[in-house]
Structure formats: structure tokens, C-alpha cells
Structure 1
Amino acid sequence: MSIDPIQKRSSVNGCRDIRQNSLGVGGRHRNTPPPNAKGVCPDNYTRFETSLSENQLLDELKRTQLSRRLIELAEDVGVKQLLTVWQALDCTEDEENGRIHVNFPRYSFILRFQRNQVIRTLVLEGKSNKFIQAHVADNLKMSISIRHIQRLRRSLKEKESACGE
């Protein structure tokens, strides 16, 4: 029995015939290989491109009623850059209720990491705790205790001794 292409799929005969003659739809594909990895962006991911000017894009974003913070971010880093990052984050598996949840540590996390890297470098150069404390205060505009420098110095020695064994 052939189906009239205009026949509604919800009709009794249409559904039965489509199921019998079709290779399947959606999750019922029989000969389609499974995707490579769960939650991976499709291969056709492209960067955001538009012919609108930055100001036109910003006006458009404001009309979408996004949060004030996202609008400020677009003003700070540029609308196209924000949209490019947004598109990349949209590929995360952590999507729930139409929202994207990405956890960022506080910005102070990276500042502390960079400060500790500077301190480790100065320790390896043989600088004194007082010199390191003054260097961090003058160049990084951060205060650091001698005790913290001693802890970093100790952890470096422990790593060196662990590597030497």
C-alpha cells in the first residue's frame, strides 16, 4: 500500500505505513552510527558572524532583556566576543531548564595563583623572605605575610625532595 504524500502522519494508515517503510526517525535510526562522544559540540560550530556594527549589536542585545551584567560585559569586552564565548559555552553538558551553568572561581583565585608563581620564582632565585615580601607589595600591590612565603618555600623543598627519591 502506498501512502499519499499529503496524508497526515497521525492517521491510522499513514502511521502504520510510515513505520513499515521508513528507516526510522530520530532515535529509531537503524543504520546510523552513534555519536562520537556525549555532550560534544557538533562539527559545524562556527564563530559568531554578522554584518551589524558593534553599536547595532549592543542595541539588539539590550532589546533582548538580558541581565544588566551581561550587557555591561558586552560593553566591556565587545558584543561579538561575548557572543562567541556564549556560543562556545552553549555546548556544555551542564544545561538545565534552558540555562547554561558554568562555574568560575573568583577572579582572586587567578591573582593568588599568579602571585604564588612569582613568589616561587623568587624563592628559586634564592631571594630572602623580606625581599619577596617587598617585591610583591611594590610590583603586585598585594600584601603577603612572611609566614605564607615560608609555607611556599617549604612546599617547594618538599616537592624537590620527592622528585629526588
Structure 2
Amino acid sequence: MTGSLHIGDVAPPFGFVARDGAPLTNEACRGRKVVLYFYPKDDTSGCTKEAIDFNQLRSAFAACDTTVIGVSPDSAASHEKFKAKHGLDLELGSDESKAMLEAYGVWTQKSMYGRKYMGVERTTVLIGRDGAVAQIWPNVKVPGHAEAVLAAAQALA
């Protein structure tokens, strides 16, 4: 999990291109708060619910100067289909190499029915205006999570 990432640490590098073509990187976002929510896979039930919840609150996040980016190992093409299917208007970043997922400590060994495999541990990280990790939510349970993250973002100066 996020054992190597702690509150107060400088957030590991991230880099995506926004829908409008602008860069979504640590440096480009400096001075704003950033929510990175890491999720396992596009178009699965929990991931869809989480994306819809964050999407519904995007204007409230924008009002408190917070950029929300969902990150998974799915391709950019998969993200576009996912967004179109569910009417999502939020940023989704693709980390097919899993380098960012590993840097944030969310690419972990999981187990299901006795079978071990590597996958994304559903985790959210709130990064402050200074680029430091302000809060970490490991092992996220989706119901009510987006609202809790919004409250934390609103409370963060």
C-alpha cells in the first residue's frame, strides 16, 4: 500500500494531458490542490460508482481550487470509452507502465480466492498547494468517499 508515502512528503511526479490539451503535472498544478484517486479498472461496478461520485462533485472541487484526477493502468482509449459511456467530465490519467502507481505505493499484490496477482489498491491522495501530500485514504470504500475527500479539500488552506 502507501507504506512509502506519508503525509508531508513531496508528492511523487505525475504527468498527464488534460482534455483541453493543457499539462496536468506536479509543476502545472502547483498553487492548486490536487486529488489523485487511484482505481483498479474502468467500467467495473466500484470504479464506475467512484467516478460518478467524483464527477457529480467536480464543480464543488473546482470552487475550492482543487483538480481531481482519476488514475488507473487502463489505456487512454479505455478512459475515453468509460467517460463517454457514463457521461463523465473529469480528468482520467492512464499509467499503463505502472511507474506512477508504484511511486504512490498503490500497485500491490492482491489476493482473490487464493490466487495472488498484482493490482491497484483503491487509494486517494490529496496534495496541497505546496506539492506536499496532505492526506491519504488507503483501502477506499466507495460510498461517501468523494464527499469525505471534498470536505478535506475544502478544509485545506
TM-score, normalised on structure 1?
0.20
Higher helix share: 1
TM-score, normalised on structure 2?
0.21
Higher strand share: 2
For CA contacts below 8 A with separation 6 or more, give which structure has more relative contact order: 2
| Structure with larger Rg | 1
